Amino acid sequence: MQKSKTFNPLAYSDFRSDTATAPTPDMFAAMMKSSLGDDVFNEDDSIKALERYVATLCGHEAAIYCTSGTMSNQLAHRVHLSNPPQSAMVDIRSHVFNYEAGGISFHSQAAVYPIMPSNGQYLTAEDIASRLVLDVDVHYAPTRSISLENTLNGTIMPIEEMVRIRELSLEHGVKLHLDGARLWHASIATGIPMKEYCSHFDTISLCLSKGIGAPIGSILVGSEDTIKKARHFRLLFGGGWRQAGFLAEAALWCIKTNWPTMEETHRQARWLERAFRQVGCHITNPVDTNMVWIDTSDAGFTVEELMAELAKENIKISGSGYAARIVLHYQISNEVISKFVDVLRRMSSAPQMKVAVDMANTPLASCVSESDGEISPSTPAPYYGLPSPKKLMLKRSDNKPEDDIFEEMASPLPRQTSFEECHHNKHKVTAKAVHAKSSCLFQETNGSAESLPAISNSASVRKSRRPLSSSLSSPSVLSDSNGRPANAYGSLSRGLLERIEKGQEDEDGQYKCRYIDQEGLTMRRTQSLDLVETLEQAAYEKDMEQARIADAKKMTKLQYHLSHNPASKAIKRASVRIVSLLSRESYS
């Protein structure tokens, strides 16, 4: 494996897919022994040897070597789906449904019914039976094939469930296909022979360029008649080989050499899984084989930040936001795994991320040290339970304790009747600024509402936020700044402006008006000016957009009528002639 570094050193640090493996010198040596026959004429001995070997390994009669897993999957479905109307049942997360460009519908003229597993991991016989379409109602396309995938997202499907689904398919005469692109991993992880897995399926697609490590190709396994028909469709799809024996020799060498090393790859995946858990990441799928699916939302960093740090060590992963997939293969060394873990440790202990990481881990901490208030992650607690806010005191990097940041999270929402419970800093506004915004208020006189001039310039909207007020309310009798009864949007608003002009503040530095109902018992705050401004501006922009769209429709309609009106065309032609005649006369 050390020799491979001279060919593709990135394979040792590329966790994006197990297709990142590169040919090795030993593989090239095996490729030099290939035959030179033409596979279209069935004369390539190397390809025939590979097909016989895999067919025997899987316990089936024949096999056909294809360019890709997409082609082998599509060939299997095209053979099974030959008489529309028909449908295929697939896992909603499967490769054949999501990443093969809708090939089943295009090539086989079949409807596709995706199913979400009820257990969230793999399809069960109950999932299939509940969605199986029998040929009893002309409104529906009957189910003619079922496609399973093992492994799917690195998770192994139990063979017991495969047996139950096989019994169901035989009962109703439905073909059963297995996308076994990474079935090699399932066989190594469980110790179940490939022949035992494949004996429950009519066709099996096996990828040779993923975990196995071959440069290219997949192979479809099935009965003699099935493979004979698949050869016709392979040529129809443009997938016939010529002198491709050297690729078959490379694939055969990889099966015999790299397949047994998958157990070490699985051990490395479990190593990384523990490292991710230690820094606060969630593992979103069971780590059964060579894939680790993570969610970094509680770890204090995004996948992009993780990718940037890993790039410094020439390590590549795929993902975005807070979700990522890490895929291991036989060319990942233990040294690279150690570098990966070191990057995770550095990120979890970075000063700018420490508070975020601690905050993310606090729901998992069931005990807090009484002596110094530090978080103790030794004993996990229920995920949704928050520790006591009074016990929990996070510390900055300079060892200065902060205020209890969880007080706000654990306390109930502020009541409408208590302005002091709103979580906002003191903020003063000048009378000039408020007067500039007073046009967004409404004035009510003699029982009829009259709106003042609206704000038409979006640049005039306040940049800084005022303190938020409570929810909207509609009391019938209000009190202005002088204690006189007033309406909601007239005298009260003017009274608020008068208090701001005179600099009259309340004890907490806020300019507030309280209004009282008829019995003077209920206290509420006024509506936020910012909210009114926002609503006013949104309404204005909506009206302008509607007017613009209406004008555009009118113009389009007018242009259409002008362009299709014979009279308009005649006037246009006459105008051109008149202009041309006048031009000639002016020159003469």
Rounded Cα gap, residues 7 and 222, in angstroms: 36
Burial of 430 (0-12, 13-18, 19+ CB in 10 A): exposed
- Residues (pLDDT < 50) of the chain are 1-7, 352-494, 507-528
Rounded Cα gap, residues 533 and 526, in angstroms: 14
Cis peptide, bond prior to residue 151, ω within 30 of zero:
yes
User: So what's the pLDDT on residue 436?
Assistant: 41
DSSP 313-345: TT-B-EEETTEEEEE--TT--HHHHHHHHHHHH
Regarding beta strands 203-207 and 175-179, do their DSSP bridges make them parallel or antiparallel, or are they unpaired? parallel
The DSSP 8-state label assigned to residue 156 in this structure reads: P
Q: Which residues pair with 376 in a beta bridge?
A: 367
Q: What is the CA radius of gyration of the chain?
A: 36
Rounded Cα gap, residues 484 and 492, in angstroms: 9
Rounded Cα gap, residues 507 and 527, in angstroms: 20
Regarding beta strands 282-283 and 62-66, do their DSSP bridges make them parallel or antiparallel, or are they unpaired? unpaired
Beta-carbon count within 10 A of 579 CB: 10
**CA–CA distances in Å: residue 422 to residues 407, 408, 414, 496:** 13, 11, 6, 20
Residue written as token pair 């957009």: 545
Phi and psi torsions of 314, nearest 5°:
60, 35
Q: Name the nearest CA neighbour of 489 among 522, 523, 440, 524.
A: 440
Helix H, strand E, coil C: the string for 452-493 is: CCCCCCHHHCCCCCCCCCCCCCCCCCEECCCCCEECCCCHHH
pTM: 0.60
**CA–CA distances in Å: residue 533 to residues 116, 153, 337, 440, 462:** 46, 50, 55, 6, 9
Rounded Cα gap, residues 176 and 178, in angstroms: 7
* Residue 223: both structure tokens together: 């009965």
pLDDT digits (tens, 9 = 90+) for 441-491: 333 334 443 333 333 333 333 333 333 333 333 333 444 444 444 443 334
Domains of the chain: 33-257 (3.40.640.10), 360-410 (no CATH), 419-532 (no CATH)
Chain CA centroid to CA 279, Å: 22
Rounded Cα gap, residues 287 and 438, in angstroms: 61
User: So what's the pLDDT on residue 364?
Assistant: 32
CA end-to-end span of the chain, whole Å? 91
User: So what's the pLDDT on residue 263?
Assistant: 95
Contact status, residue 329 vs residue 211, Cβ threshold 8 Å: yes
Contact status, residue 326 vs residue 15, Cβ threshold 8 Å: yes
User: So what's the pLDDT on residue 427?
Assistant: 40
Which H helix or E strand runs over 377?
strand 375-380
User: So what's the pLDDT on residue 562?
Assistant: 64
**CA–CA distances in Å: residue 233 to residues 39, 230, 236, 241:** 15, 5, 5, 13
90 φ/ψ sector (left φ>0, alpha ψ -120 to 50, else beta): beta
Cis peptide, bond prior to residue 85, ω within 30 of zero:
yes
User: So what's the pLDDT on residue 502?
Assistant: 56
Rounded Cα gap, residues 413 and 63, in angstroms: 66
Report the b/e string of 185-198 with b at 16+ CB within 10 A: bbbbbeeeebeebb
Contacts of 375 (CB under 8 A, 6+ apart): 358, 361, 362, 365, 368, 369, 392, 394
User: So what's the pLDDT on residue 449?
Assistant: 38
Contact status, residue 406 vs residue 371, Cβ threshold 8 Å: no
Q: What is the dihedral of CA 77, 82, 85, 88, to 10 degrees?
A: -10
Rounded Cα gap, residues 438 and 460, in angstroms: 12
User: So what's the pLDDT on residue 548?
Assistant: 86
